[in-house]
Amino acid sequence: MVRFRQSERGEAYFDFIVKFVITMCVAATFISFYDIYVKHQNVVAVAKRVTRAIEISGANNATVTALFNQLCADMKMSGATFNVVNVSYFPGGVRRIQLRDSFTVVVTYPMQLRMARIGNTPLGIPITLEAKLGGMSEVYWR
The DSSP bridge partners found for residue 136 are: 102
pLDDT tens digit sequence for 28-82: 888 878 888 999 999 999 999 999 999 999 999 999 999 999 999 999 999 999 9
Say if residues 111 and 42 touch (Cβ distance below 8 Å): no
Tell me the C-alpha distance between 82 and 68, whole Å. 8
pLDDT tens digit sequence for 76-101: 999 999 999 999 988 877 889 999 99
Q: Tell me the pTM.
A: 0.80
Tell me the C-alpha distance between 85 and 64, whole Å. 15
- The SS3 call for residue 100 is coil
The DSSP bridge partners found for residue 116 are: 123
Tell me the C-alpha distance between 38 and 41, whole Å. 5
